[in-house]
Amino acid sequence: MSYRGQSWRTAPLTRVFAAAAEARVHETPVRPARRLKVKCSPPPEEPKPRCGGSGATEATTESQLPPAERLRGPSTDHGLRMEVMASLFKRFVRMKERLVIGLAAFTIAFTILIVMDLQLDLGYSGHHLLPSHGRLKMAEDPQRDTVYNNFRRKFLQRLNTSKEIISGSGSEPTSVTPTAVEIAKNSRLRTTSSSHSHDDFADLREYVELAEGVAVESSIVRPSAESSEDNPTIAEVKHLKLGSNSTLLEKFHLQIRRQELYPKGSQLVEDLLHFMAIQPIYHASEKSGGTQLKLVIDYTNKMQALFKPMRFPREQQTLPNHFYFTDYERHNAEIAAFHLDRLLGFRRCMPVTGRLLNMTTEIYQVTDSDILKTFFVSPAGNLCFHGKCSYYCDTGHAICGSPDTLEGSFAAFLPSKSAIPRKVWRHPWRRSYHKRLKAQWETESDYCNLVKELPPYNEGRRLLDIIDMSIFDFLTGNMDRHHYETFKIFGNETFTLHLDNGRGFGKPFHDEISCLSPLLQCCIIRQTTLDTLLT
Ligand SMILES: Nc1ncnc2c1ncn2[C@@H]1O[C@H](COP(=O)(O)OP(=O)(O)OP(=O)(O)O)[C@@H](O)[C@H]1O
Ligand SMILES: [Mn+2]
C-alpha cells in the first residue's frame, strides 16, 4: 500500500503501519483508481504528489517502495513516531491559537452587541439598566447628605394631598388615564372626610429667615436687590413717544420696564385681554420657530396675537408613558400660566386669553395658501388643518374643529425683534431631551456652584430669576424649560421672560420636584417670592 496517493497529513501514519498491513495487501482486492480520493493540496515542505495520473491503478505493494524505506528497522519506527508526535504537537498549537483568536473575536462582538443594545434600546439585554420609558430619576443616592436630600427629608415629608392619585381604590395602575375631573372628584371625596388645619410653615420660616449676624451673601433668603429708581420703560430707553393713533399693543410695549412687563393692577392688561378675545380677525399666518403649530393673528388695526390651538380635551392629562418632550402643548396651560405668573407678582408673562374661533371665517378665509393646502374634512365631518412645522404638523396631529369651532389661546404679541431685540439664553438647568441621558445638573448636586461662577449668574438678579422661574415651573408642572429670553436693551439687569408655558398643567395631581432643582441646589430664594408663597 503506497502513501503517495494519500493526503500529506496521513502519509507518515501509512508508513508506520505499512509493514503490518503488508500481509493483508496480498489478500485485499485492488481497488480501482476512481474510488480513491486524492487530495491535491500538498504541504509546502513535501514533493508534489501525482494528481490524476494516467488512469492506472494506485494500489502498490511494499515491494514497490524505495529500498531505503524497506531497509528501515526499529530506530526508523522511533523516528517516525517522533515525527508523528511533532506533527500532532504543531496541530495542537495551531488549534490553540485559533481558539484564542476565536474567543477574543467573540468577546469583542458580544461587547459591541451589549453596548448597541443599551444605546439603541433593542432589548436583547433585558433592560437591566433602565426601562425604556421609565422616568429619569435624580441620580443621587437618597441617603446622601446633600442639600436636595436634606430638603426632601425635612420639608417634603408632610402629607401631600396633591400627589398623583390613581383612579379606583386599588393600587393597580389602570391602562386608561383618568381625567382631571374624575380625579378631582375622587380627591374631594377624600379630603372632605378629614379636616385640614392651615399650615403656616413656621418651621420653614425659622429655618430660612435671615438670622442676625449672618451675611446676606450666605443667607438663604435674599432681598431683591433691584433699585426701584433704575427701572426705565422701553419708551424711556428708546426715547419713543406714544402717537395719538397708537394701538393698545403699542402702548403696552412702550410701558414694559426693566423689571417687569407691566405694573401691578394694570388696566392696560385687562383692555388687551378683552381686545384679543373679541376683535375681528383680519389675517392669520403661520408663526415659525418652536416645535408646535402657532398662528400669528392680525387684527384690523395692526394689533397682533400669538394663537395656539386646543389639541385635545382640557381634561386630558399627559399620558403616563409620555416624556415632557413628546407631550403636546395645552392652550389652557398658556392661559393659566399667565394668571399664575400675575398672582405670584412676577409679571413676566405676556397677557394671554382664551377665545373660540370659527375656523371657516376666522382662519380658512383669512389665511395664506401654505396653510390652506393643509385643510381637510375628517371622517367625523370636522374641519381640520395641520400647517407646517418641525414636529407635530401632519394628518395624524391635525387640529380639528367641532365641526369648525376651535378653541385656542391668544397671547399679546411681543415687540418686533427688529425694534426691540431679545437675547435667547440656554437655561442652565435644561433637561437632556433624551429618554435615557441625564443632564449634568441631574447627576451633580453641587451643580449650582458651577453656575454661580458664570456670568450672568455670578452677580445681580439673574440667578434669583432662574429660581423664581423654577418655582413657577414647579407650580405649573412645566418640565419643558430649555431656553429663556430677555430684552437686550435692558442689559443683564433685567427680568427673564416667562414664555412658552404650553407644556404645563399636564399632570395636575403630580408634584415634579425636579423642577425645583435650581432652588434646591442653590438654596437661595428671593425674599419677595418667599413672602408671596407663604402668605
Ligand atoms: N407672545 C409672543 N409674541 C411673539 N413672539 C412670541 C411670543 N411668545 C413666544 N414667541 C416667540 O415664538 C417662538 C416660539 O414660541 P414658543 O416657544 O411658545 O413655541 P413652541 O412651539 O411652544 O416652542 P417649543 O417647541 O420650544 O416648545 C419663541 O422663540 C418666541 O421667541
Ligand atoms: Mn412650547
**245-262 residue pLDDT tens:** 999 999 999 999 999 999
Q: How many Cβ atoms are within 10 Å of 529's Cβ, its own excluded? A: 22
Q: Is the CB of 292 under 6 A from ligand 1?
A: yes
Q: Is the CB of 334 under 6 A from ligand 1?
A: no
Residue 166: its pLDDT value, please?
38
Q: Atom 18 in ligand 1: which residue has the minimum CA distance?
A: 500
Higher pLDDT, 10 or 448: 448
Residue 152: its pLDDT value, please?
60
Q: Is the CB of 500 under 6 A from ligand 1?
A: yes
Which residues contact residue 386 at a Cβ distance below 8 angstroms, ignoring those fewer than 6 apart?
293, 374, 393, 394, 395, 397, 398, 399
Which ligand ends up closest to the CA of 392?
Answer: 1
Q: Atom 1 in ligand 1: which residue has the minimum CA distance?
A: 413
Higher pLDDT, 108 or 121: 108
Residue 482 CA, closest ligand 1 atom number = 26
Residue 157 CB burial class (10 angstroms; 0-12, 13-18, ≥19): exposed
| Mean pLDDT to the nearest integer, 124-143 | 43
Which ligand ends up closest to the CA of 390?
Answer: 1
Distance 291 CA to ligand 1 centre (A): 9
Cα-based torsion angle of the residue sequence 121, 124, 127, 132 in order, rounded to the nearest 10 degrees: 30
Strand order of the β-sheet with 399-400 is 376-377, 383-385, 399-400
Give the model's confidence band at 153: pLDDT under 50 very low, under 70 low, under 90 confident, else very high: low
Contact (CB, 8 A) for 350 and 308: no
| Mean pLDDT to the nearest integer, 139-168 | 51
Q: Atom 17 in ligand 1: which residue has the minimum CA distance?
A: 500
Residue 393: its pLDDT value, please?
86
Instruction: Out of 325, 487, 497, 500, give the residue to mutate to test ligand 1, the one with the largest number of ligand atoms within 8 Å of its CB.
Output: 500
Residue 501 CA, closest ligand 1 atom number = 18
- Which three three-digit cell numbers place residue 340? 399664575
| Mean pLDDT to the nearest integer, 5-28 | 43
User: Nearest 5°: phi and psi at 464?
Assistant: -65, -35
Kindly report which listed range (32-36, 92-96, 130-134, 463-467) carries the lowest average pLDDT score.
130-134
Residue 366: its pLDDT value, please?
96
Residue 485 CA, closest ligand 1 atom number = 31
Q: Is the CB of 329 under 6 A from ligand 1?
A: yes
Q: What is the DSSP letter of 31?
A: P
Which residues contact residue 41 at a Cβ distance below 8 angstroms, ignoring those fewer than 6 apart?
7, 8
The share of the chain scoring above pLDDT 90, in percent, equals: 50
Residue 389 CA, closest ligand 1 atom number = 21
Q: Residue ranges of the domains in the chain?
A: 11-72, 234-412
CA distance 343 to 2: 107
Distance 489 CA to ligand 1 centre (A): 20
Higher pLDDT, 375 or 197: 375
| Mean pLDDT to the nearest integer, 472-476 | 98
Residue 155: its pLDDT value, please?
54
Residue 412 CA, closest ligand 1 atom number = 1
Q: Is the CB of 413 under 6 A from ligand 1?
A: yes
Kindly list the catalytic residues: 480
Give the model's confidence band at 113: pLDDT under 50 very low, under 70 low, under 90 confident, else very high: confident
Distance 308 CA to ligand 2 centre (A): 10
Instruction: Out of 272, 499, 503, give the residue to mutate to test ligand 1, the one with the largest number of ligand atoms within 8 Å of its CB.
Output: 499
Residue 119: its pLDDT value, please?
60
What is the maximal distance between C-alpha atoms in the chain? 131
- Which three three-digit cell numbers place residue 186? 375622587
Residue 20: its pLDDT value, please?
40
Binding residue ranges: 292, 308, 329, 411-414, 485, 500
Give the model's confidence band at 374: pLDDT under 50 very low, under 70 low, under 90 confident, else very high: very high
pLDDT digits (tens, 9 = 90+) for 327-347: 888 999 999 999 999 999 999
Q: Is the CB of 306 under 6 A from ligand 1?
A: yes
Distance 85 CA to ligand 1 centre (A): 82
Does position 108 have pLDDT exceeding 70, yes or no?
yes
Kindly report which listed range (95-99, 249-253, 281-285, 359-363) carries the lowest average pLDDT score.
95-99
Distance 501 CA to ligand 1 centre (A): 9
Residue 438: its pLDDT value, please?
95
Contact (CB, 8 A) for 417 and 476: no
Q: Atom 20 in ligand 1: which residue has the minimum CA distance?
A: 290
Does position 34 have pLDDT exceeding 70, yes or no?
no
The interface pTM score, or ipTM, of the predicted complex is 0.97
Distance 307 CA to ligand 2 centre (A): 12
| Mean pLDDT to the nearest integer, 203-207 | 80
Of 129-138, 239-248, 258-267, 327-336, which has the strongest mean pLDDT?
258-267
pLDDT digits (tens, 9 = 90+) for 57-96: 333 444 444 444 444 445 567 788 888 888 888 888 899 9
Residue 187: its pLDDT value, please?
57
Q: Is the CB of 290 under 6 A from ligand 1?
A: yes
Distance 234 CA to ligand 2 centre (A): 26
Give the model's confidence band at 195: pLDDT under 50 very low, under 70 low, under 90 confident, else very high: low
| Mean pLDDT to the nearest integer, 513-533 | 95
Rounded to 5°, the CA angle 527-533-535 comes to 95
Residue 435 CB burial class (10 angstroms; 0-12, 13-18, ≥19): middle
Q: Is the CB of 479 under 6 A from ligand 1?
A: no
The share of the chain scoring above pLDDT 70, in percent, equals: 70
Q: Atom 8 in ligand 1: which residue has the minimum CA distance?
A: 499
Does position 389 have pLDDT exceeding 90, yes or no?
no
Distance 292 CA to ligand 1 centre (A): 9
Residue 165: its pLDDT value, please?
39
Higher pLDDT, 142 or 478: 478
pLDDT digits (tens, 9 = 90+) for 399-425: 999 999 999 999 999 999 999 999 999
Instruction: Out of 252, 296, 306, 349, give the residue to mutate to test ligand 1, the one with the largest number of ligand atoms within 8 Å of its CB.
Output: 306
Higher pLDDT, 354 or 328: 354
CA distance 176 to 183: 13
- Which three three-digit cell numbers place residue 163? 400627589
- E strand or H helix that includes residue 24: helix 18-27
Angstrom distances, CA of residue 188 to CA of 505, 508, 533: 19, 14, 23
Binding residue ranges for Mn(2+): 329, 500
Across the chain, what does the average pLDDT equal? 79
